[in-house]
Structure formats: structure tokens, C-alpha cells
Amino acid sequence: MRRLSLIFLALWVCTGCNKTAGTADKKGNVPNTKESSDDRQISNDLKQLGLAFLNYTSTQKDMNPITSPFVGSLDVLKPYLGEKENPRLVPTLESGKYKIFWNAPAKQRILACEKDAETKGGLVLTRIGSVERMSAEEIQKAIVK
């Protein structure tokens, strides 16, 4: 009886051995766990930048985050980035991991993106604070030059 229990336990454990971590996308592809983790970190960084921008613009008289140009610098946003809660964010932004469009005109939809996103596609921060995945072509069309 004990041997039968051990065999059953081994079979039960092994039934999950061939499953890949992650959730399948619409095409049935299971994403690489490291990529998913990287995407989550990038998304979180961009969201924090977006929140800082929205908080900054809310404190400025006559400045609307949707209709005002994104004029500023990292120094202007630092007080809104939550350095105590997220101490790695400012050094990450300073490292150049993300391209921030500091003087983006009001009609430009993208405020920031991954460093290589203009040529490879990737995650972008939109003016309304959402993070989206765009192709390189979509990003190039959305950037006002």
C-alpha cells in the first residue's frame, strides 16, 4: 500500500513537470518568464514616471497634462518620483535606460519609452499615464518631430 501511495504521489507531481511557467497569449505562445519579469519592471518604471508627471502637472497653475507640452527635466520630477519608496528609479532614469521626451509638444502622445523602442518597438508611456506596447512604426508615427 505504501509503495502504491508513493507511485501515485510521483505521478501526481510529474503531471505538472512539463508545464511552462507563464500564461499563454492569444496565439498560444507562453512568454519567457525573464522577459515577463523585465516587462513588468519596465512597465512599473514607466508608470512611476507617468504618475510623477501627472502629480507635477497637477501642482502647476495653468498646466494640463493632456494639453500642455511636457516641458521639464528629471530634476523637476524628482520630488514626485517617490525616491524613498523606489530608490532605484532615479538612477535607472539617469542611466539612459529610457528615452524621455522632455520637450514633447502637446499633440505628441508618447512621453517616454524604452531606449531602443523607436527602432525595435516596446513599452511606451502615453500622455495620459498608461503604458502600452507599440511597434517601432507606431512609435515613430506617434513622435512629433
Read off the amino acid at residue 66.
I
Which residue did the predictor score with more confidence, 135 or 74? Answer: 135
- pLDDT over 70 at 140, yes or no: yes
Read off the amino acid at residue 76.
V
pLDDT digits (tens, 9 = 90+) for 91-120: 999 999 999 998 888 788 899 999 999 999
pLDDT digits (tens, 9 = 90+) for 23-34: 555 555 555 555
Enumerate the domain spans of the chain.
34-142
CA distance 135 to 21: 26
Of these ranges, 2-11, 69-78, 105-114, the one predicted with the greatest mean pLDDT is 105-114
pLDDT digits (tens, 9 = 90+) for 34-44: 567 889 999 99
Q: State the pTM of this model.
A: 0.70
